[in-house]
Structure 1
Amino acid sequence: MVSYGIIWPVSSFIQQSFEGKSFDSENKYDWWRCARYGLYGSCYVAPTIYTWFTIANIVWPGTTLKVALIKTFVETITYTPFAMCSFYFGMSLLEQKSFDEAVTEVQTKFWPTYKVGVSVWPAVALINFHFIPPKNRVPFISICSLLWTCFLAYMKHLDAQDIPVNLKERSARLNV
């Protein structure tokens, strides 16, 4: 929980830096946004990912390539979509958006984000499940998630019309 309570607000801070925020300009850092990321990362992401790893190790013990592939596949089709939907929905509520606005954000941003996620996370998960000992899996994923959370923060703060066109087109084809 401590690592995610640090990694998530740091990711928000990094993403805001890419937005052009600074300490001494008119466009100052949004410290409340960083706080929301810290709260969400430590109190929601850390426990859910720890629980997922615990369940995965009980259901599929071992670190063979076959077991790692099974865990990776199951994570990609279960935990990953759950985590992404929870992120957009939960962070919207923390921003004091309405339930309907939170649902709309999930509907708008889930598919573009998931498409990127499935191109990155299966490789990371396979390495994690095959090469990393169970006691070190959450810290390993914590380090990897720093960059991923920067991307999530980027996607979170895009307006729907600003989502890159190629991501929108691909997600629109999936919704048909």
Structure 2
Amino acid sequence: MAIWSKNAVTIFTKYPLIRGMVSYGVIWPISSFIQQTFEGKSFDTENRYDWWRCARFGLYGSCYVAPTIYTWFTIASKVWPGTTLKVALIKTFVETITYTPFAMCSFYFGMSLLEQKSIEEAITEVKMKFLPTYKVGASVWPVVALINFHFIPPQNRVPFISVCSLIWTCFLAYMKHLEAEEIPIQLKNRSARLNA
């Protein structure tokens, strides 16, 4: 057991992307579980937890979110090296207007596809939920990003953000599930308007 834990520490230290993928692979399904608990799901009633939803969050978080965040942090560190307040403000501003909208659109689109929805349904969900989510994100994430870029060492940025994202991902899980039943209705209404 000690050899395994020593090897894991070595791998996580040497490969921060793997550390981020493991972090997101744990934190994202936990966030889905927490959101479902607030939704009224439980272990022993007819309204049981949706474990497939948790699995989708884990898959998406570990295999898509962690690598894109790692890539963004790597690019940002090369383009704007350093951790001064000025550099941190620049990185935060650029992240808020570039990576954040990309990440939110990708979330709704990608999770819809993992739910086996059509591309049209995924696009409709992005259109319905992007702006409300972005408004909340733009008021929260710049502060977190500023702390991350100014105070956190580069090798620990993905794990730091993954811990901060636990609450954020609970919010995303809530927004993802919110009005999910209305998306086909929105498509029908849109199609009716286009055909009229």
In the superposition, the TM-score normalised over structure 2's length comes to 0.81
- 1:144 partner letter: C
Measured in 2, the distance between the counterparts of 1:154 and 1:28 equals 17
With the length of structure 1 as denominator, give the TM-score of the two structures.
Answer: 0.90
Provide the aligned C-alpha RMSD in A: 1.2
The partner residue of 2:164 within 144, 153, 160 is 144
The 1-side partners of 2:119 and 2:148 are apart by 35
**One-letter code aligned to 2:154:** P
SS of corresponding position for 1:155: helix
What are the residue-to-residue correspondences of 1:99-138 with 2, within 5 Å? 99-138=119-158
CA contact (8 A) 1:7 1:142 kept: yes
- In 2, Cα distance between equivalents of 1:161 and 1:98: 14
Identity, % of aligned positions: 86
Alpha-carbon contact 1:11-1:146 (below 8 Å) kept: yes
**84-93 vs 153-162, greater mean Cα deviation:** 153-162
**Inter-CA distance 92–160: structure 2 relative to 1 (3 Å threshold):** closer
2:9 matched to which residue of 1? Answer: none
Report the Cα distance in structure 2 between the residues aligned to 1:11 and 1:127, rounded to whole angstroms.
22
Aligned-partner residue type, residue 60 of structure 2: Y
Give distance in 2, aligned partners of 1:21 and 1:38: 18
Q: Distance in 2 between matches of 1:154 and 1:37?
A: 12
Secondary structure, in 3 states, of the residue corresponding to 2:72? helix
Unaligned runs of 5+ in 1: 163-176
Q: AA paired with 2:144?
A: V
The corresponding residue for 1:166 is none
Q: Which runs of 5+ in 2 are unaligned?
A: 1-20, 183-196
| 1:7–1:146 contact (8 Å) kept in structure 2 | yes
Is 1:92 paired with 2:112? yes
1:101-124 deviation line (CA, Å, top 9, x unaligned): 000000000000000000000000
The answer to whether structure 1 residue 25 and structure 2 residue 55 are counterparts is: no
Letter in 2 for 1:50: Y
